[in-house]
Structure 1
Amino acid sequence: MLEKLFNLKGKTVIVTGGSRGIGETMVKALSEVGANVVVASRNIERCKDVVSSIEENGGNALAIELDVGSEESAKEMVQQTLDHFGSIDVLVNNAGISPFMSAIEKTKPSGFDKIMNINLRGALLCAQAVSEHMISKKSGKIINISSSSAAVPVKGIGVYAVSKTALIQLTKTLAFEWGKYNINVNSIAPGFMDAGVADLVQDLDGFFDDILHRTPLGRTGKATELIGTLLLLTSDASSYITGQTIFIDGGAGNC
């Protein structure tokens, strides 16, 4: 029974922003448990490198160039996936940016728009793009990658935190509206991990000291520590879980 609950063999999973950081960790883990994986991001060459690595280990993968801020690009990603694998079972909205550090009073509208376009609007566009297929087959799972900064403000990344907070509300809204189609929508909120952290954050004096001070486990996380929750939410084991956000942050966001 347990093997069936967590079995992803033959399932097709799209991971946006899957060519680096925690996205790369996720697609490789999903492939290891038998899923067909789609690696989608702006950097098609990096996507191809990840796909090659997966195929060398016996997995099935497809690289797709994606601009999550473009409705047309999101729809093309879905069509290419259906043409190649025939179905889509899971969408992981992982693509996101935090391109600058800024106090809120100094944040320019253009910077706000850039972050919202990728982190929030991009997730909505990709969810909408897969919705027709999932609604028609009356099944599907969508996982949005939020952040523990959605729960606890972090100095210098206020707009990023706002976008990730809004993503949690989008998760609840999609879960509420699409539950009647047997589509589960949940989110994962990682803390600061050993992969995918922007250089501008890593280079900021005292930034991680403040994070670790408020983290009960006293350390940053490992990208691989997301995998258990990812497998839960992508598999049949989470068939009665929807509208939820699971924080994987060493307790920083909830203690």
Structure 2
Amino acid sequence: MSSIQPLFDLSNKVAIITGSSKGIGKSIAKGLAEHGASVIISSRSQEAVDEVAEEFKKEGLEATGIACHIGKADQRENLVQKTIEQYGGVDILVNNAAINPIYGPLEDAEEGVFDKIMDVNVKAPWMLSNLALPSMQKRGGGSIINIASVEALHPGAGLGLYSTSKAALLMLTKNQAKEWGKYGVRANVVCPGLIKTKFSAALWQNEQLLQKIEKTLPSARMGMPDEMAGIACLLASDAGAYMTGGVYNADGGYMIAG
């Protein structure tokens, strides 16, 4: 039996990770870079992405910062084009950037908020994947990893539109996997539970709410951003070569909690 370890090697692979100047995106970018990938750090602020890229370079990792507001078509095109110009192509796309500008009942949300959430959380990953596809086809395949949420699988409180957008991302992923398998392109989705990031601060900064959530979890604690990197490295690499169209929870047991 041959060794499993080399299958995790991402040397000569190029990965774009959206929303990677902090939180889950940054941890995933670090994991991919540590496995040998050249990573594109991307978020809306050039200053923020340059800072992370420099931090990675100091550790001997290959990283470049390219700012991109994924809700804007010209910036999405620029992100993929610049990546190809610099590194020759795209092998891995992690659609991690997302927004949740509202917390409250469905009927209180304005139409504009719905459009904004769908634009960033569903349309942008679709469009970015489409932009990366020709390069992946040329390179004989690739891996798309869409970051959703357990909210896509189980309705929470006050996150109705966010949940709806993430559920749509699940079905987008399955269709990508089904249609693009013939090109050697795999697509999978990761559903994190409550992770300690700025994005979820409203939940974990409320001590009572956090205790209530943690009491129900089999893991009895919230997750950390670094705990999302392992599954991404598996799905990005040849170690996960037979994994496509899958939905993977990394939620401390949230989905089986009573």
TM-score, with normalisation over the residues of structure 1?
Answer: 0.95
2:243 matched to which residue of 1? 241
1:126 matched to which residue of 2? 128
1:89 matched to which residue of 2? 91
Unmatched runs of 5 consecutive residues or more in structure 1 = none
1:26 matched to which residue of 2? 28
Q: CA deviation at 1:172?
A: 0.3
2:216 matched to which residue of 1? 214
Alignment match of 1:36 (pick from 23, 32, 38) = 38
Alignment match of 2:51 (pick from 29, 49, 52) = 49
Corresponding letter in the other structure for 1:96: A
Q: CA deviation at 1:131?
A: 0.9
Alignment match of 2:160 (pick from 154, 158, 161) = 158
2:195 matched to which residue of 1? 193
Q: Is the 8 A contact 2:31 2:230 kept in 1?
A: no
Q: Is the 8 A contact 1:70 1:125 kept in 2?
A: no
Q: Is the 8 A contact 1:41 1:64 kept in 2?
A: yes
Q: CA deviation at 1:16?
A: 0.4
Between stretches 150-159 and 87-96, larger displacement belongs to: 150-159
Alignment match of 2:107 (pick from 102, 105, 109) = 105
Between stretches 197-206 and 65-74, larger displacement belongs to: 197-206
Q: For 2:64, what is the secondary structure of its paired residue?
A: strand
Q: Is the 8 A contact 1:151 1:254 kept in 2?
A: no
Aligned residues: 255
Alignment match of 1:67 (pick from 59, 66, 69) = 69
Corresponding letter in the other structure for 1:155: A
Q: Is the 8 A contact 1:149 1:253 kept in 2?
A: no
Between stretches 9-18 and 132-141, larger displacement belongs to: 132-141
Alignment match of 2:184 (pick from 176, 182, 185) = 182
1:5 matched to which residue of 2? 7
2:139 matched to which residue of 1? 137
TM-score, with normalisation over the residues of structure 2?
Answer: 0.94
Kindly report structure 1 stretches of 4+ aligned residues shifted beyond 6 Å.
Answer: none
Q: CA deviation at 1:20?
A: 1.0
Q: For 1:253, what is the secondary structure of its paired residue?
A: helix
Pair 3,203 (structure 1): closer, same or farther in 2 beyond 3 Å: closer
Q: Deviations over 1:27-53 (max 9, x none)?
A: 122212211000111111110100010
Q: For 2:75, what is the secondary structure of its paired residue?
A: helix
Corresponding letter in the other structure for 1:241: M
Q: Is the 8 A contact 2:80 2:131 kept in 1?
A: yes
Q: Is the 8 A contact 1:68 1:125 kept in 2?
A: no
Corresponding letter in the other structure for 2:244: T
Q: For 1:170, what is the secondary structure of its paired residue?
A: helix
Corresponding letter in the other structure for 1:154: G
Pair 214,110 (structure 1): closer, same or farther in 2 beyond 3 Å: farther
Instruction: Measure, in 2, the Cα distance between the counterparts of 1:202 and 1:220.
Output: 8
Q: For 1:188, what is the secondary structure of its paired residue?
A: strand
